[in-house]
Each structure stands twice: as structure tokens, then as C-alpha cells.
Homo-oligomer: A and B are copies of this chain.
């Protein structure tokens, strides 16, 4: 073999090796966990910073993109054109089209609920989290109405919350953020910053909301003292609302928000200074509730579910918390409400920030990733 031939051969071999390396099925992989062997499959990709994910009764998924599009994705990965009728959103920093939820009685009336960053209708430069609903007809929402508008409108691109979950009694919980620079508002009741609110799906206020008889407080408020609550789920046995919120630097929290209670932010937090030299933050404050569980350092909690499917029997009743940091899902093994153990799942399979998590009608676990080329991923049991 001549030197030239040899070089060419080496180059070809290298190129082939590279091709083989690139040719690995990067997103269809298997991993071991403590109790189940799992497969991850990318159902669809090319989603533009997807944020919210909800399943329709027919098995299709509705997925929001932060820039303002709501799309329907079929189980085989076909992505629809944007659904018409979605409200205008403020697409800036953390703001945009955020969560999506399906009415518990969708079969009767096909209401779809959307949370989003809404500009000031009066023309000011502030914005706030709002929630609208519309009826899904084909590829359009009709009868679109705003059922909640965060107050006040505030000039910030940060900390909008905002997950949507229905209580077993049919209330709609909306989780909100403190808007970052307005964090002190989380401790006062004349605004929606740093609150969880509870409304009826038509926007009316439940008569037994905790502050309806307090003239200085906004009637929708359910609980306060939160930072930026981007995850929520209803416990399948107790029916109680659980939430996860981002901490400042460390101190991501799970809470079980009860009516009228104060969850401490910003007067009490487990956020810490990592140099260990000076700890100025209080972890406890009179009249505030300790977190149910917390993370230091932060994992950057996005959303959570309680797993109730048959596909992963060992995970039934567990809380699965998706994380932006570390591209993982934290599994909390629960005995009732008590955390017995934490396991870190899926990080080697995903390698992108995880923005939302849902259990599919098939019992698989679905994730969407926070990326310009966002992926919609199905996690299945490799033993099935």
C-alpha cells in the first residue's frame, strides 16, 4: 500500500468510524434503574421550547411551545400545524405560552386550558400570568375566554409559574411565581405574586376559598409565600395538591399547600451560600410551614406527577419530579405522604433540560425537553 493510499484508507476508516459513532440510535436507549429497566424513545422532535404537555382522551398529546404555538402530536410523532385561537402571549425571557390542561369533563365539553404571559390589556408595559380556556374543535379553539388574570401587571420577564391542575372536586389550581424582583409581594395578600390560586373552571371564585372574607386579600388566593411554582399534581389517594417550586440557590421545595397557609418565601428558605462561610437565610420563620421535602443544591424542578400506571409496578404511588438541571427525573418513593427514598432517573437517556412530565394513557412516562430542538420522549418498561 502506498503512503497516499494508506493515508486515504486511514481517512476513510476514520470517516466510517465517525459515521458509525453518529449513527448510534442516540435517543432510543435502555437504562437500568433500581427497580425497572427502561427504554427511552423520541416520539417527536423539532418542538420549539415546548413547555406544557397534556393527553387527550384519544391518545394524542397537546404540547405548547413557549413562542405561542399549541400543537397536537399523535402517538406516532406527527406534529400538527399550530392550533388556531390561542391567545397572544408575551414571549420574553421565561414568559410565553406555558401550560396546557384538559377539562376533567372533556368528553362532554372539550375545554382546553392554557396559561401564558399576558400583556397589559390597558397598554402598560407590565405583564402577568393569565389563564384562558377554549373549546377544541378540530384544529382550533373556539369560545376562548380569559378566566384568570394575575394582578398586578408587572414589568418582569421572570417567574410566571404556572401549572394547571384540577382538584378531585373540580377546582382549578393555578400555581404562580413571585416575578423575581417583586419577591416581597409573596408575603402580602393584595396581589397574586408568589401564590397558588384556586378558581372554578369558568373563572368564578369558590365560596370557601380561605381569604374570601378578608377585604384586603384577593379572593382567588389559596396559599402564599411561594417563589416560582412550576410543578403541581394531585395526590392520587389523599386528593391533596402537591407543588414543586424553584429555590433561589438551593432550596427547591415540595410543598403540600393547604388553604390559607404561608410557605415562607422570601423570609424562610433552604437556599444557601455555597462557600459555607456565612448563612444569612432563615430556614424557619414563625407562622410559616416547612417544606415537605427540599433539594440542596437545586435540581431546578419543572413539573411533577404521581405515577399510577401499570407499566411500572414498582413506581406506583411514587412522585416523579422533572428537573431542568441534570436532565433527570427525581423519583421519590413514598409511603403515604412520607418520602422514604430518592432515586435519580433517566439522566443518561435525556441529556436535555426536562420541562414537563406526564403519564400517558398507556402507562408510559412522557417527557418534553426545554430546547430549541425540543423532544417529546416516551419512557417504557424494557421488560414488557
| Chain A residues packing against B (C-beta within 8 Å) | 31-37, 250, 270, 272, 274-277, 279, 283, 290-296, 314, 333, 335, 338-343
Contacts and interface: CB of A to CB of B under 8 A. Distances in A.
8 contacts: A33-B276, A35-B279, A36-B276, A37-B277, A279-B314, A293-B341, A295-B341, A342-B342
A289 to B, nearest CB: 9
Contacts of A37: 276-277
Contacts of A296: 34, 341, 343
Nearest to A296: B34
B32 A294 contact: no
B34 A272 contact: yes
Contacts of A338: 292, 338-339
B292 A340 contact: yes
Assembly stoichiometry (copies)? 2
Given A283-B314, A314-B283, A32 B341 contact: no
A322 to B, nearest CB: 19
Contacts of A34: 250, 270, 272, 276, 296
Most-contacted residue by chain B among A34, A283, A333 (CB, 10 A): A34
Contacts of A275: 32
Given A35-B283, A294-B340, 16 more contacts: A32-B275, A32-B276, A32-B277, A33-B276, A34-B250, A34-B270, A34-B276, A34-B296, A35-B272, A36-B279, A270-B341, A290-B340, A293-B339, A294-B341, A338-B339, A339-B339
Nearest to A342: B342
A256 B8 CA distance: 70
Contacts of A341: 270, 293-296
Contacts of A340: 290-294
A35 B341 CA distance: 22
A279 B37 CA distance: 10
Contacts of A314: 279, 283
